[in-house]
Amino acid sequence: MKKFFICKSKFFKNPTFSGLLLILFCFLAIFISNTNFWKTYNYIINYPLIKINTHDKNFSLTNIVNDILMTFFFLEIGIEIKHEMLVGSLKNKSRAILPGIAAIGGMIFPALIYNFITKEDSSISSGWAITVATDIAFAVGVLKILGHSIPHSLLIFLLSLAIFDDIGAILIIAFFYSNHIDQYMILLSTLVILTILSINYLRVTCIYIYIIFGILLWESIFLSGIHSTISGVILGILMPHSSYLSSSKYEKSMAFLKKSLSFLNKYFILPIFAFFNSGINFSNFENLSSSLLPFGIFFGLVLGKPIGVFLFSYLSVKFKLSKLPVGISFKEIAGISFLCGIGFTMSIFISNLAFQNINEKIIYIAKFSILISSIVSSVIGFLFLYFLYKKIKLKN
């Protein structure tokens, strides 16, 4: 019995399990969406729980998951990136800028391919930004299925690249798809950020103060019209790192926060996120054949993303603008570049904005195309890295 519990504990702690759990909930949502329970599922996840009259926003269960719970995931990423920038693989500036350069390539090439394929249909030209985003949660989930064979520096590279991708996507949304950005709330968000910077500069070690200002930051960014989860990344990066504080109490608090966030994100938030965002009904499958949209999205994500990410990474290293992460080769960068083609939730979010004034069939076609493209990208990326590390393992 004791051996059983030890094996069970090891299984749940294995990073592969959290990745598989994410995929399981994703396919569970797809399965339910194509049964008689589709209407019930759709009604529950979209039921408006709260209405914010002043900003004409409805808060459904899906909003709670995407806008509130996912902020905790981004907070963990922000803390992790801050750690790597100070004492880890991103401490070297030439290595830290590589993900940013790669992200730029990963946004330019998919958009160019999308525009080239769909140039004959002006009604879908506004969807060019659908292919620029990377879904961090799913990309990391697929990578973690490979388990302990993945170097930590490769995971950090993917996280950093995806963060730059998300920032780029948020800026695109703000400049091209937002008609109602609240400038006063943007100003308030800036003031909150400056306040957090100030208390960090003053070496304030009470973690609860940062959490309180983090809540204010989330609210102001949410009400501004910008995707609120970015507040998690900002707070994580702005919180002081224990390496330059002599407070054992703060160090213990941060250790507890990291452990709690890791557990919540792996076993609760990310699976719930997958379940609430993966429900796509295939009943209108015939609509796909009458549009250039699926081809633009598919080739933008499956080809444009990896070409852009890899090419810009390769050129930046060759021209000595940046350096590869420690222990990482261009072959591994190639594998990661395919995982960047997992657009999924952010791409779906942009498609809703891009085609909100067009008929619902276009949005359905976009969602289905994003799902197929993301699955293909994840399979290619996973198999590429799996066989690469299997070959390395055999050599060693």
Give the burial string for 129-149 (b: 16+ CB within 10 Å, else e). bbbbbbbbbbbbbbbbbbeee
For residue 9, tell me if it sits in a domain: no
CA distance 32 to 348: 19
Q: Is the pLDDT of residue 166 over 70?
A: yes
Q: What is the mean pLDDT of the chain?
A: 85
Q: Is the pLDDT of residue 141 over 70?
A: yes
230-238 vs 183-201: helix axis angle to the nearest 10? 20
Q: What are phi and psi of 51, to 5 degrees?
A: -115, 125
> What are 158's two structure tokens?
């993917």
Report the pLDDT value the prediction gives residue 2, as an integer from 0 to 100. Answer: 47
For residue 99, tell me if it sits in a domain: yes
**What pLDDT, in 10s, does the model give residues 203-247?**
888 889 999 999 999 999 988 888 788 899 899 999 987 666 666
For residue 29, tell me if it sits in a domain: yes
> What are 246's two structure tokens?
């002599």
Beta partners for 50? Answer: 59
How far from 196 is each of 200, 205, 238, CA to CA, in Å? 6, 12, 7
For residue 7, tell me if it sits in a domain: no
**What pLDDT, in 10s, does the model give residues 245-296?**
666 777 788 888 999 998 999 899 988 988 988 888 877 656 566 689 999 9
Query: CA 271 from chain center: how many Å?
Result: 14
- Residues whose CB falls within 8 Å of the CB of residue 380, separated by 6 or more in sequence, listed in order: 302, 338, 341
CA distance 306 to 174: 25
CATH code where residue 311 lies: 1.20.1530.10
Q: Which amino acid is at 34?
A: N
How far from 50 is each of 55, 101, 103, 231, CA to CA, in Å? 12, 40, 36, 21
Query: Stretch 317-346: mean pLDDT, rounded?
Result: 91
For residue 1, tell me if it sits in a domain: no
Domain containing 146 equals: 16-395
pLDDT band at 5 (very low <50, low <70, confident <90, very high): very low
CA distance 75 to 237: 8
pTM for this structure?
0.81
Nearest to residue 335, comparing CAs of 300, 310, 364, 365?
310
Query: Stretch 116-132: mean pLDDT, rounded?
Result: 90
- How many folded domains does the chain comprise? 1
- Residue 59 near residue 307 (C-beta atoms within 8 A): no
216 burial via Cβ count (<10 Å: 0-12, 13-18, 19+): middle
Alpha helices, DSSP H, located in 173-247 = 183-201, 207-224, 230-238
Give the burial string for 37-64 (b: 16+ CB within 10 Å, else e). eeeebeeebeeeeeeeeeeeeebbebbb
For residue 8, tell me if it sits in a domain: no
C-alpha radius of gyration, the chain, whole number = 21
For residue 236, tell me if it sits in a domain: yes
For residue 2, tell me if it sits in a domain: no
122-126, 358-362, 371-375 — which one is most confidently predicted on average?
Answer: 371-375
How far from 14 is each of 19, 21, 159, 267, CA to CA, in Å? 9, 11, 19, 12
CA angle 73, 74, 76 (to 5 degrees): 70
